[in-house]
Structure 1
Amino acid sequence: MSHEDARLQARPQQVSHAARPLPPGLHPLGQGEGRDGLLRVPPAALAAPLPLVVMLHGAGGDAAKALRRIAPIADAALVMLPESLGDTWDVLLGGYGPDVARLDAALQRVLAAWPVDPARLAIAGFSDGASYALSLGMMNGELFSHTLAFSPGFAAPLHFSGRTRCFLSHGTADAILPIERCSRRLMPKLEASGFAGKYMEFPGGHEVPEAVARAALEFLGAG
């Protein structure tokens, strides 16, 4: 399967809540090809079924940087941190395909092993990762109940499938992806296309303030 249509086949499974396959902490995601990604397992006190946040890094980033963006809320969910094959995600480098395929394979492994709550299954991202998350979320609403886009630049869906709930945040002083030509244009288009959600501006730059991360967690219903 080429994944050029950006459709993800992974779905949550019926998994026992009795035992976790891995202890709390960071573990390799198992993507291979030199860009392995990470899986962060929350503290044992977090009851199953678990919220899942698939967090995508920005251009030139990696799993560790993506995790730091949402560090204040990482204990509230199982956090999957895939990495792009290139410096950024495939749609910005020629079209959907390679990164979608790797993400799908990693999601299938995680969802087969972990008791994940289908009603709190989010794709999230920062900067280029936010644009990619928003695009994939709009095309895979049967899988992702929520999409959390921190400072996105664009959305490039090839089609709509389901209706993921969208959270967008953006700094009013963002010099890298200016808010006027990014989120202030994106959110009205999302709403016009039937995507319900929440939009949050904050006085700051290209970042994810703790208050924004916590608002996104509340939006997911995992706070």
Structure 2
Amino acid sequence: MPRSLPLDLPAPLMLLLHGSKGNARQMLEVMQPLAESEGILLLIPESRGPTWDDKMGRHGEDLAFIDGALAHVFSRHAVARERISVAGFSAGASYALALGILNGDLFSRILAFSPAFVHADEPRGVPAIFIAHGDQDLALPVEESGRRIVAELRAAGFGVHYLEFSGGHSMPVEVVRAAARWLRETPPSVNLP
């Protein structure tokens, strides 16, 4: 919870998902400056195993844990329901895309940093999507992942802001800043319940 956040006003909330074999602490270190500057509550769960459910958002242990964590936050904090986003890095980015697209009535925005793939065959709503990928990514080459995912999502009718940066499999500070600007400037989707 950002120190500057007024306790009585509804705040934006970001569900933030780490990469494979990563952890919540790593994601907090990268995203805490964004949370502080933008007044965003961060919810950073850890996967129940070395990476996220292979069912990609359907009935797995990770999904049950995330549902419980979201309920906990909603019961204790004033959340701006139209400004709930899901974000992730690498495997967490792929999981964020799946969760965000399958639950577009909850998540108005999705931020995917170096995703591997997108799998969401039953979209609900049309969340806005930000994807960033390094042009020198050796773990997930940009041609086979970032660029392909953007093309697939655009063909499916999603609005995608794509940032291809000079670098590898990482979340550079300047890319996180660009994501913060995009969050600030992108209106929430209109198909919320």
TM exceeding 0.5: yes
User: 2:4 aligned to 32, 41, 44, which one?
Assistant: 44
Bigger mean CA deviation after superposition, 62-71 or 190-199:
62-71
Identity across matched positions, percent: 43
Contact 1:173-1:204 within 8 A present in 2 as well = yes
Go from structure 1 to structure 2 and tell me whether the alpha carbon gap of 1:194 and 1:109 turns closer, same or farther (over 3 Å shift).
Answer: same
User: 1:189 aligned to 152, 157, 162, which one?
Assistant: 152
| 1:161, distance to aligned residue in structure 2 (A) | 0.6
Partner of 1:219: 182
Partner of 2:109: 146
Go from structure 1 to structure 2 and tell me whether the alpha carbon gap of 1:99 and 1:65 turns closer, same or farther (over 3 Å shift).
Answer: same
What is the distance in 2 between the residues matched to 1:130 and 1:172? 17
| 1:124, distance to aligned residue in structure 2 (A) | 0.3
What is the distance in 1 between the residues matched to 2:135 and 2:46? 28
Give the TM-score, by structure 1 length.
0.77
What is the distance in 2 between the residues matched to 1:62 and 1:92? 20
- Show CA shifts across 1:48-94 (max 9, x none): 2211111100010111011123233121211100111000001279x
| 1:96, distance to aligned residue in structure 2 (A) | 4.7
Structure 1 residues 197-216: aligned runs within 5 Å: 197-216=160-179
Contact 1:51-1:222 within 8 A present in 2 as well = no
SS in 2 for 1:79: strand
Q: Which amino acid aligns with 1:201?
A: E
Structure 1 residues 1-223: aligned runs within 5 Å: 41-45=1-5, 48-75=9-36, 76=38, 77-91=40-54, 96-221=59-184
In structure 1, runs of 5+ residues without a counterpart are 1-40
What is the distance in 1 between the residues matched to 2:172 and 2:132? 10
Task: Count residues in correspondence.
Answer: 182
- Show CA shifts across 1:126-169 (max 9, x none): 00000000111010000000000000000111411111110000
Give the TM-score, by structure 2 length.
0.88
Contact 1:123-1:137 within 8 A present in 2 as well = yes
SS in 1 for 2:62: helix
Go from structure 1 to structure 2 and tell me whether the alpha carbon gap of 1:70 and 1:222 turns closer, same or farther (over 3 Å shift).
Answer: farther
What is the distance in 1 between the residues matched to 2:82 and 2:149? 24
What is the distance in 2 between the residues matched to 1:103 and 1:45? 23
Runs of 4+ residues deviating >6 angstroms: none
| 1:45, distance to aligned residue in structure 2 (A) | 4.4
Contact 1:127-1:152 within 8 A present in 2 as well = yes
Q: Which amino acid aligns with 2:86?
A: I
- Larger Rg, first or second structure (1 or 2): 1
SS in 2 for 1:90: coil
Go from structure 1 to structure 2 and tell me whether the alpha carbon gap of 1:100 and 1:89 turns closer, same or farther (over 3 Å shift).
Answer: same
What is the distance in 2 between the residues matched to 1:191 and 1:222? 20
